[in-house]
Structure 1
């Protein structure tokens, strides 16, 4: 079984697990994406001593607890202004952040720039973005997530 099949088979389960754990859709999606990024990077070292689904949920759980440890003052079950995982769409509504995000977006290498643009501004689903590039949906999700992380990281560096 290749990684794209694993992603397609287990994405929903990992997302549901994270949603049940953190009770925040945005955070659950962020952690789920990061889980698959990390799993893809370390898939060759997966020993198979447990089910793939168990391994993925363990990665997700560890990511979630690492975030909680880093941000003990943040209540992820409520909408607070200080949340680390601000939705970039909300930040785009703010003209100052919008200008910064657009500048950072244009400095991103391809395919990050185009995938982010197609997802956020054209509001295309991941499957359609993947079709445009001749790739799998999991590639589109991971590429978008990485682009978003790059922009978010650069915004945090400016703050």
Structure 2
């Protein structure tokens, strides 16, 4: 990590798309990505190397995004169409839930979940992250991410079929 430019080239795109999956605004995602790398370079000595650099950067990016929301008194607003276009067809949650109800109802039900469940589902379906990466971003274990995703999916299914 001696060369900042190489570090940015190798991880910048992943951080940018991670942030874009939350903000759905290319300019804002670029600004937050730059802030992420600025903060990362300021605290590079704190990086212990116990996770991939991209996961460490996504953790920083997530906190910068939360700070942006708090500082700007913004509620987490995400266009359903923008999220839905990023959902891979291969996810079981997509095929089972979206077929039963339209996507608007799915996201209304998703918003009723607690914050950690909602965030795990968003990270899984919109950022295409593994459970290990989600666990690292959330400061939890891979197993925690799997269980949280499973429980969220179960609650969504119950809400749809009741």
Q: Taking structure 1 as the reference length, what is the TM-score of the superposition?
A: 0.45
TM-score, normalisation: structure 2: 0.44
